[in-house]
Structure 1
Amino acid sequence: MPFDIRPATADDLSAIEQIVERAYAPYILRIGATPGPMLDDYRARVAQGVVSVLETQDGIQAILVLIPEADCLLLDNIAVSPDAQGKGYGSRLLRFAEDEARRLGYASIRLYTQEKMTENISIYRGHGYVETHRAEEIGLKRVFMKKALS
């Protein structure tokens, strides 16, 4: 199915929040806390221009939050609607993030995820991300990963 990746607008807020809620809700019980992306202020993120959406003829299917940092691009959040998972949208957004990092002149891209989100860690490893360290932040045990870009 054809899709477009574009910057999010204020009109997308409801869809963004619903996708994040549905994508992360299954992890609440597993990690014993609300995942950070569910607590984010997406109105502010959209206003900052750091949110992109993947849209098909059926509407917004996935979201991506990329935050420029001094030395690399932070892939802060990627969420695919449960109804759209398994269609390759997550992989396409990962490639888009890497392309954006290159376009902005970064030599690497980084991310972090909760250590109990093991399937996400496997996905990132499969896309060439390597674990750099683990740390506990705001009560959450996180796995930090990075990918050098060529």
Structure 2
Amino acid sequence: MMRFRKRIPAKDDRAITALVRKTLLPYAKIAKPSLSVSLKEMKERLAVGVTWVLTENGRLQGFIHVKPEQNVLLVSLLAVKPSSQGKGLGSRLMRRAEKYASDQGYQGICLFADRSNSKAIRFYKLKGYRIQEYISEIDNYMMWKETV
């Protein structure tokens, strides 16, 4: 059974870091080949904002990390294990972040998607996110959606 909860650092951070390395870092390395992610760096990044995880039988299947940026909520990280993709977990995580943004009174949600990650860009567009701008320095699209 899938379980939704807030991140427990001692329990989740190693699995989150491994998932970021496997699913997100390959895209980020296209623009910046020397990029790496350490457990310490990940703990520091996750310390600011809120992280929700989805687990099954105690094992992390996906997570989303959000943090406030002025009057918008930034989706800082979203990843789902490859074996769990296509099962609605990413959509479930995004709905949680969008509800949080609405409940907290943010004007919208923004996120950055690697230009080479067409699957993610398509996913976000299907969720109603629009490309606001392309940032060549990091080879990312900034995407935006107003809160309801």
Question: What is the TM-score with the length of structure 2 in the denominator?
Answer: 0.86
| Secondary structure, aligned partner of 1:94 | helix
Distance 1:28 1:108 in 2: 24
Provide structure 1 residue ranges, at least 5 long, that are not aligned to the other structure: none
Distance 1:65 1:125 in 2: 19
Give CA-to-partner distance per residue, 1:47-85, whole Å, 9 cap, x none: 335322111225111121101111100011101111211
Q: 1:106 to 1:28 in 2, by over 3 A?
A: closer
Distance 1:112 1:104 in 2: 21
Residues 61, 80 of structure 2: 8 Å contact kept: yes
> Which residue of the partner structure matches residue 146 of structure 2?
148
Residues 8, 46 of structure 1: 8 Å contact kept: no
Q: 1:8 to 1:52 in 2, by over 3 A?
A: farther
Residues 62, 78 of structure 2: 8 Å contact kept: yes
> Which residue of the partner structure matches residue 97 of structure 1?
97
Percent identical residues: 32
Amino acid at match of 1:145: M
Distance 1:25 1:142 in 2: 13
Alignment of 1:32-43 (within 5 A): 33-34=32-33, 39=37, 41-43=41-43
Provide structure 2 residue ranges, at least 5 long, that are not aligned to the other structure: none
Residues 52, 93 of structure 2: 8 Å contact kept: no
2:117 aligned with 1:117: yes
CA RMSD of aligned residues (A): 2.2
How many residues are paired up?
A: 146
Distance 1:116 1:15 in 2: 24
Question: What is the TM-score with the length of structure 1 in the denominator?
Answer: 0.85
Alignment of 1:50-61 (within 5 A): 50-61=50-61
